[in-house]
A and B are shown apart, each in its own frame.
Chain A
Amino acid sequence: MLAIYRREIQSYFYTSAAYVFLGVFLTLGSIFFGVSNLAARSGNLLALLSELSYLWMLLSPILTMRLIAGERQRSTDQMLLASPCPLSGIVLGKYLAACTVLVMAVICSGMYACVIAVYGRLYAGEAAVGYLGLVLQGCAFIALDLFVSCFAKSQMTAVVLGIGVNLLVWMADVLASAVTIEWISRALNFVSLYQRFAPFVRGQLSLSNVMYYLFFIAVMMFMSVRALDARRWSEA
């Protein structure tokens, strides 16, 4: 697993994937910061983090498209499958590598917090909870898109599928507030990642929400392993 993790990290930076991800995230993040904080003369970091969380929907597939679909496209998946490393190790190594790049992006976005701290007032506890939520939200999207990537034969398909599924997740949030039937609304609220994220950007740390994210990630990992294993039994 460590071998896979190291290779993926190297690969992100040998190719343009990590630079595109970090570049787009920080460019759009800076625009949000400029408009929401600098131009509005606001020190509300949590509102900025809430806006940044929507970027995961579009950017997470950039990190995950190569993980499974890319290997399949290059036929390097056979090298991994023929190695003694178990499928769970392969999936986990790749997932952690993508999460590491995401965490790097979040660390870079810490400069916005620094600016607010210098020129305004920053509540460290609130900021920490907000950043924890942002990381968990991003890791959940990566887990979801990694699972989606298991069904794609090319990286392009993986990106399109990933963005599509992410939008559906976001739609669940929108639908939950629009649907009048209570149990459907409640169910949609339960599966909505954005509903779980909302308390973090209010500065509220809830163990149940953290557990929900961890459970969601574990389920996605498990399903990714099963999807890859199922392909061995059925692939034409």
Chain B
Amino acid sequence: MWLPIFGLLIGIALGLLTDIKISSEYANYLSIAILAALDTLVGGIRAHLQNIYDEKVFVTGFFFNIILAASLAFLGVHLGVDLYLAAVFAFGVRLFQNIAVIRRIILTKWSLFKEKAEKN
């Protein structure tokens, strides 16, 4: 449970310490990629809580989503249509849905735990 959070912190520390910067033209793509990654991460947590977690689906979903989102943004820039908004919208909605599901699952688990404690 704590290992992924620890990994996240390590990643952030690594990124801040190495002081890597990308040029501002690509900042858009990175932001969309981050959104996709976050979506996949939250989706993975939800799947884990629902006991339908599959490593293959999770890992491929992660990379595929990032690439798809970035290429959508790229296409949008070249077509003059803000296609990245589509990605932002899709991932944003899914992020909220996933978080809502996670919240409900945790709430149910918590109330079950409480009932058990009361019975005992």
The judgment on whether A and B are partners is no
